[in-house]
Amino acid sequence: MQHKLARTSMIYMILGLAFGLFDREFARIYDFTGYTQLGVLHTHTLILGMFFFLIVLILEHQFKLSAHRHYKKFIMFYQSGLGISLLIMLIHGSMIVMGMESSAMMSGIAGIGHILLTIGLGFFFKVLMDSIKAVK
């Protein structure tokens, strides 16, 4: 399990760095200087992806979180929510750079991503708290 968490963290690190490069170069190609979600996509990916899963890796090592019955639910909801949220940030930010209009659908899908992230975090803290209690 620890190897999977380390690999997941590394994948988010690669994505985060790639998103940072994409933001800079895509905006340069379109000669765009305003604010878009592309500017924060890089940091969201690194914090919610790479750093979060590094912390989960440490907690897994200490408390064996993966043994908890809700661990897979945490992973499924969190990864799904994060993936949707990051994808919408990428699409919406790119649309702004290209001068395209956004739609309410984008906000709705982003909302679904955030809801899934919240459910995933709820499962995470349930798993964490129960696992800490089990060690005592």
Predicted confidence at residue 63, as pLDDT, reads 96
Average pLDDT over residues 4-9: 97
Question: How many helices (H) and strands (E) are present in the chain, helices listed first?
Answer: 5, 0
Distance between CA atoms of 98 and 68, rounded to whole angstroms? 46
Output the pLDDT for position 26. Answer: 95
pTM of the model: 0.93
Q: What is the largest CA-CA distance in the chain?
A: 58
Contacts of 117 (CB under 8 A, 6+ apart): 48, 77, 78, 81, 82, 85
Query: How confident is the model over 103-131, as pLDDT tens digits?
Result: 899 999 999 999 999 999 999 999 999 99
Confidence of residue 102 (pLDDT cuts 50, 70, 90): confident
Confidence of residue 42 (pLDDT cuts 50, 70, 90): very high
Mean pLDDT of 49-75: 97
- Position 124 scores a pLDDT of 98
Return the amino acid letter for 128: L
For the record, the structure tokens of 93 come out as 């930010």
Q: Contact, 28 vs 83, CB < 8 A?
A: no
Domain boundaries defined on the chain: 1-135
CB neighbours of residue 27 within 10 Å: 19
What is the pLDDT at residue 49?
98
Contact 81, 49 (CB under 8 A): no
Distances 32 to 22, 102, 125 between C-alpha atoms, Å: 13, 17, 41
